[in-house]
Structure formats: C-alpha cells, structure tokens
Amino acid sequence: MLIPNTLKTAAIDDAALISRSLARAFDDDPMMRWFFPDDASREASLGSYFTTLFTRQYVSNAVCEVTEAAAAFWVPPEAQAKAVPDAETIQQLQNILGDRAELFGAAVEAAAQHTPREQHWYLAVIGADPAAQGTGQGAALLRSGLAKADAAGLPACLESSKASNLPFYEHFGFTVREEIRLPGGGPTLWAMRRAPRPAADTGAV
C-alpha cells in the first residue's frame, strides 16, 4: 500500500488501481459524460476505457505514475509518435464506447488538429479519486511531470473539458492557449500550455 502522496512508476500490475481511481476521477468530467451518458454504467465503462488506454497505449510509451488513489500519464516528445492507439486498441475502445464511438473518433481527430507543433511534454491523463481530495496526490503527480519537462527545457501541454479544473492548472503556471469546441455538440476543451521553468521551480506549493 502506497503512502497517499508517494509516487511510483506505474507497472502493468497497477492497472486495476489506475482504472478505479481514474474512473471515479472522471465521473463528472463533461467530455467523459458526453462519451458515456448513462449514469448507471459510466463507472464500469470508464474503468474499461482507462484500463485499455493504460495497458495498450501508455504503459509502454509514456511516463505513467501512480499514487494510492491517483494516476497520471505524461508523453515526452520522443514518444508521441508511438503513444497512439493501434488498430486493435481502437477496436477495443469502439466496443467500450458503443454507439458513441463515432463521436469519440471525431472528437479525437478535432483535438489532434490543435496539437502544438513545438516539442513539448503532453499530459494525456491525470486524475484522483474524489475520496482522496485534499491529500495532494494530484498535485504531486503534476509536479513530478512538470519537473521532467523543466529538466528537458520544454513546455508542458494539456487539454481539459472541466472549467473548474482550470484554476488548479493555472496555479501551476498553465495558461489557456485555445478553446476547442468539439464537433457533434460536444463540450469545450481548453488547451493549456506552461512554459518551461528553471529545473528547481516546478510550481507553487
């Protein structure tokens, strides 16, 4: 059992912990609610969704870190060409999404058109179980990735569809660079960027 805000590099054996934490973290996320509109099945569907992303897409091609109740997937620039779903992964995601798969595909394509051209560290996923709110686990994961980006002298980028999360990211130096309206009546994505800082300065406390 991990101490709540102690980080470790995630391994494949952490898939159940990661999927549970992220499913609970994203239950009220506007984009995830758009992809998984059924309240009764959302947590289970999100669990399958994040398990697939972690085990098939990110564990081998990203910096995946985990705490007791939170997880983050960071993709450095040299891995971004590899950290994309292959055909089998896409098929698994489509099976999980069901009749929302087409909307999902259009949303992914729309967001990809706004990917920064500069080299950057990309925060693909970060989330903490709401039951762990206030324990600093999400902040610890964010600081860890930012430290790596800063050590490389590169900016960090992310997207969020939850307006209430923006101040959290702004607290760590991110600014909104663009608003992206997803097709098909989807929610707004806020694309954010944080300029690199001296390696010792990873953000506010």
Tell me the pLDDT tens digit for each residue of 150-187: 999 999 999 999 999 999 999 999 999 999 999 888 99
| φ/ψ (deg, to 5) at 156 | -115, 140
* Angle, vertex CA 172, rays to CA 117 and CA 20, nearest 5: 85
Closest CA to 110 of 179, 51, 20: 179
Averaged pLDDT score across all residues of the chain = 92
Residue 92 has pLDDT above 90, yes or no: yes
Interval 143-150 mean pLDDT: 96
| Closest alpha carbon to 72 in 153, 134, 14 | 14
Distances (CA, A) of 136 to 6, 115, 131, 143: 10, 29, 12, 10
- 3-class DSSP state of 119: coil
CATH of 8-194, one of 3.40.630.30, 3.90.650.10, 3.40.50.700, 3.40.50.1980: 3.40.630.30
- Flag whether pLDDT at 205 surpasses 60: no
DSSP 37: -
pLDDT at 3: 54
